[in-house]
Amino acid sequence: MADSKDYYEILGVSKTATADEIKRAFRKLAKQYHPDAQHTEEEKAKAEVKFKEINEAYSVLSDETKRAQYDRFGSNFEQAGFGGGSYGNYGGFDFSGFGSGMGVDIDLDDILGSVFGGGFGGFGSSAKKKGPTKGADLRYNLNITFEEAAFGTKKEINVARQEKCEVCHGSGAKPGSKVVTCDKCGGRGKIQFTQNTIMGTFSSVKTCDKCGGEGKVIEAPCEKCNGKGTSRKTRKLSVTIPAGIDNGQAISLSGEGDVGLKGGPSGDLYIVVSVAPHKIFTRRGFDILANFKVPYSKMVLGGTIKIPTLEGEVEFEIPEGTNAGTTFKLKEKGIQNIHGRGKGNLEFTVDVDIPKRLNDRQREILKEFASTLGEEVSVKKKGFFR
């Protein structure tokens, strides 16, 4: 045995750590170094080594008896002659359970399962147990106009998704080929491997990466899909966009996602809409909002103005003496409530359309008008308005 390992250091806990602290530290590290959490092969390889170390440390420190023995011997294990395949009873301490000679298998999948409550794939490979699996949900981003969102529309979309391979009908097997016993694990679905540690030689078991734990493999994989049982297809789908949908909302098409594996159900397709902004209107729920400029004379005297709506122009009576900033409401000129109960309103705020240039006559009239109100008017020299 070359190096003696500090199990406390490996788990990052103190020598006085409680069972709970040890368990928490192990969970955290096991998650961090789980092969499925790594991105590259190199990371995976490194993590695997680390993972085994963590597991080894935990298997000792989580067991009260073993931890006490380890504590007692500490770093003197080597000198005490515990390395190099010398295991069994030493000095009256029972180390059974640590040597391969004892015939005890430590099943990493089982350990993880018990710690995490299941849900982990096979250790050392990303292969999961291949039961029926639901297909992946898909997302499709659809751009629509403001009016399309307001009134609803029908769209044709092209969706690329995994469908059942038409050559092997999803089995993954080349037509005519058989399903045979996995030669890597001999049909057990698990592979035994040994590791030499300070505590002796561990014999551990992991899920077979060739058959994914099934114990059976396809003799010849389907050439079309390489044994996956699925292939990528682009489908044209017709989508009904309901009136009243808003930016960021989604329509789900059940079962239109990727096909499931081994008889599992298909995933769903989510169509997420992006609504383009409108030139005039903004939206607040099912109401639409706008700002309009109204000529000064109409604000003062009142009169009819034309208001654009989503359904064309309408006439609106501006009351006499309307102040800038006044808001008016046109009932039911907004957007259809998507739940089917009526429509929102159109709310618009008016501002004065101040004329930029007046001719001499207009200026005179306005001056005269102001003087009738008793306002003092000092008109700047001509040219100021240029």
Can residue 363 be called a binding residue for Zn ion (CB under 5 A)?
no
Can residue 239 be called a binding residue for Zn ion (CB under 5 A)?
no
Of 52-60, 147-155, 180-188, 319-327, the segment contacting Zn ion by CB under 5 A is 180-188
CB of 171 to Zn ion, least distance (A): 7
Site for Zn ion in 200-229 (CB under 5 A): 208, 210-211, 222, 224-225
Site for Zn ion in 117-176 (CB under 5 A): 165, 167-168
* The binder of Zn ion chosen from 130, 184, 278, 367 (CB under 5 A): 184
CB of 90 to Zn ion, least distance (A): 37
* The binder of Zn ion chosen from 60, 108, 185, 288 (CB under 5 A): 185
**Burial class of residue 65, CB neighbours in 10 A (0-12, 13-18, 19+):** exposed
Lookup: tokens for 207: 């899920």
CB neighbour burial string for 198-211, b if at least 16 within 10 angstroms, e if fewer: bbbbbbbbbbbbbb
Three-state secondary structure readout of 246-306: CCCCEEEECCCCCCCECCCCCCCEEEEEEECCCCCCEEECCEEEEEEEEEHHHHHHCEEEE
- Locate tokens 């000792």: which residue? 60
**What's the CA gap between 149 and 336, in Å, rounded?**
9
Can residue 182 be called a binding residue for Zn ion (CB under 5 A)?
yes
CB of 125 to Zn ion, least distance (A): 11
Phi, psi of 170 (to 5 degrees): 95, -10
CB of 190 to Zn ion, least distance (A): 8
Q: Which residues contact 92 (CB under 8 A, 6 or more apart)?
A: none
Size of the site for Zn ion (CB under 5 A): 12
Q: Report which DSSP code applies to 101.
A: G
Q: Decide whether 138 or 211 has the Cβ nearer to Zn ion.
A: 211
CB of 120 to Zn ion, least distance (A): 18
CB of 78 to Zn ion, least distance (A): 37
- Locate tokens 């751009």: which residue? 143
Q: Which residues bind Zn ion (CB under 5 A)?
A: 165, 167-168, 182, 184-185, 208, 210-211, 222, 224-225
